[in-house]
Structure 1
């Protein structure tokens, strides 16, 4: 009974899985197309444009003129589900959805710069077919976090800059799954839908150091963000014993997105080649256990429930290079290794991801000194990820059949970005 409500309410938090993204865990990386071209290898140490506000706010001091940037990323996922315990287990469950972003940055004087960014750090849309064998564990998920970040950057001297930006983060989500009425004297299936939202606050801070004229090092800290999602859980279509739960209930879920530390170096080999290498630590162990509090459930049976996630901290790595072909064109490439924080014993149909390898290509075209158009392509391949979720019982009777399968995921990502300097 502990899992009955949790498989829906819990997904407001962990349902933010980036199945369709170039990031892992519940993170996505679609905040910069110029960074996407090198697999984000130099994200903390290079300042190609105003998207550095997310990558390292200290880098704003390297932008010489006011600049506006807008763009989006688009990922087409390929999900193969093998060895499923139910015959209806198609893999077409990730709609093609753009992830937009926008930034503005400007110098204030010789030392101070400022900017503002609007981007999406976490998002999910997954939509299994109605007959999906794992629908009792998760059928539909739509979750997103939108972040607004005003930022200041200060140039301490010719070599060292620092930056800081508070973040205002809006999270909202809708989740659906099913329960089987036939096992408890009813007919058909119950639909359980969850909606919730909240606003949380955090900050991004960074330092960027020109160690030599050729070598730059950067470090960025993205803080944790605490949320208390409040919304409703609606149960419809319940018959038999499950019919006791038909209705709408207020729900509350405390959830924290993890802090990350991103560090990288960029080395200007000559007038044409720039090399990048970076690593990111993510404290996924914050997602160890989730507790949901509901109000007004029959007999108080489901007023407080919890589930262990047992996610572990991860280190991801990336290398990349940029080649300045001529004053108008720059070419980029990169490779990233991004492990999954979830283990087989705790992986669900809402988070069916494995360890990732990402290969990227990109280009920037500047027809004049004021305008740059960036494009990028990435191919993502995951190791096989096994899902093995047990059945859910109510009063000793199975109302949500278990589901097991092996997921083999890959994706093609493209991005387009325009930067205009005044």
Structure 2
């Protein structure tokens, strides 16, 4: 039972949170799989062969490495949000609001006051995103690699009594992937690579439901509705690298979609810790449930140009097929609809430019700028992931104190376009009440990365 419960939670969390990096890439996609790449804004993700993180960036690149190496590190993300111009209204059926008798319901909801609570912002705790990669040349043409990393993830945790709690007050998604990979060097110009990915996902989703007939929007009487869970799925990566001349490298990487069928349970808990009852039927609010989910495929293209012995420049473009995610549809044991939310995501592009300057044999300096377009629409943007188009500015450095060891450091500043969240629902209180929540969000983030590469 618990395993089923866990599986559903992740599905709904991803669906409701709608794919979130929350600090890095669009939706819930995460870019933090390389600190050396972070320094130049990941502009050369598919074409710049620097260390073992190329296992993720482009599996074809492993055959360009001259010896075995391991790279491990992580990026700490510090995210902050400012919420302003909040409007949170409680809605009740006009007849019920006037008489307190459900029998007098008219079907028309009217505002009956402001939802009590706060909108403090800063709902994303700091998170460390780790990774580790290993690459091993097997002969002059063939190489093997393995990586463990986080391709997706998100977390929002609002304060107790958040005014938008009826739309979501806690969402967490964690995805970890393991990727064995092979690369083959066809000739001096062409290399190809492929890998499979095993993906393990966990998550939790919560929101509040009014529970007191006398005071329908009293926070102390709210019912806690939540799902939590885990699941796994398989995918694959493909890559190709082409060097028309030694100074120019072009790379193309494809990461597949991953299909999940998630089954589990949902439950609603009353303030006293008991399972809440449906006010209309008296039945406990607990049932099995299922949800189908497909995470989107991505394509990344980049070019690395060696301008001189010391300077190289990079450009990259990524496309993600977010249009696969058009709705959340969770059904119960009898096929009945438990929840349905329109998401209406659209395919999105991200672009990056960056460069690296080799100051001396021991020290390389890096910088980059990224533009990341949001897949969300103004109409369906949610308090769970209240993000918009992003600009990311990065700097970094690589220090090689001895021939076999390199330490990389990077810092990124992310700023989002201010965005307006506007949500409403009319199904909160026994079909007799609803809520609206509207607010302006301004998000920014700081990323601090460090990694170590050791060559054998």
User: TM-score, length-normalised on structure 1?
Assistant: 0.93
Give the Å deviation of 1:185.
Answer: 7.6
SS in 2 for 1:84: strand
Structure 2 CA distance for partners of 1:129 and 1:204, relative to 1, 3 Å: same
SS in 1 for 2:33: coil
Matched, 1:117 2:119: no
Other-structure match for 1:179: 209
Give the Å deviation of 1:392.
Answer: 3.3
Q: Is the 8 A contact 2:390 2:415 kept in 1?
A: yes
Q: Is the 8 A contact 1:8 1:177 kept in 2?
A: no
Matched, 1:318 2:348: no
Structure 2 CA distance for partners of 1:94 and 1:305, relative to 1, 3 Å: closer
Other-structure match for 1:254: 292
Query: Structure 1 unaligned runs (5+)?
Result: 1-5
SS in 1 for 2:36: helix
Q: Is the 8 A contact 1:391 1:403 kept in 2?
A: no
Give the Å deviation of 1:329.
Answer: 0.5
Where do 1:8-47 residues align within 5 Å? 10-15=12-17, 17-18=19-20, 20-47=22-49
| 1: CA distance, partners of 2:283 / 2:170 | 20
Where do 1:150-161 residues align within 5 Å? 150-161=180-191
| 1: CA distance, partners of 2:298 / 2:250 | 17
The number of residues matched between the two structures is 412
Matched, 1:196 2:229: yes
Where do 1:61-80 residues align within 5 Å? 61-80=63-82
Q: Deviations over 1:210-254 (max 9, x none)?
A: 111111000000111111122221211136727846443222111
Other-structure match for 1:396: 431
SS in 2 for 1:49: coil
Q: Is the 8 A contact 2:77 2:128 kept in 1?
A: yes
Give the Å deviation of 1:304.
Answer: 5.0
Matched, 1:421 2:421: no
| 1: CA distance, partners of 2:196 / 2:278 | 51
Where do 1:16-415 residues align within 5 Å? 17-18=19-20, 20-86=22-88, 88-183=118-213, 188-237=221-270, 238=276, 241=279, 244=282, 246-295=284-333, 302-303=336-337, 305-393=339-427, 395-398=430-433, 400-415=434-449
Give the Å deviation of 1:171.
Answer: 1.2
Structure 2 CA distance for partners of 1:210 and 1:192, relative to 1, 3 Å: same
User: TM-score, length-normalised on structure 2?
Assistant: 0.86
| 1: CA distance, partners of 2:396 / 2:373 | 23
Q: Which moved more, 1:117-126 or 1:226-235?
A: 226-235
Q: Deviations over 1:356-391 (max 9, x none)?
A: 000000000001111111010000010011111102
| 2: CA distance, partners of 1:226 / 1:240 | 33
Q: Which moved more, 1:179-188 or 1:229-238?
A: 179-188
Give the structure with higher Rg (CA).
2
Structure 2 CA distance for partners of 1:201 and 1:242, relative to 1, 3 Å: farther
Structure 2 CA distance for partners of 1:66 and 1:243, relative to 1, 3 Å: farther
Other-structure match for 1:3: none
SS in 1 for 2:309: coil
| 1: CA distance, partners of 2:172 / 2:316 | 31
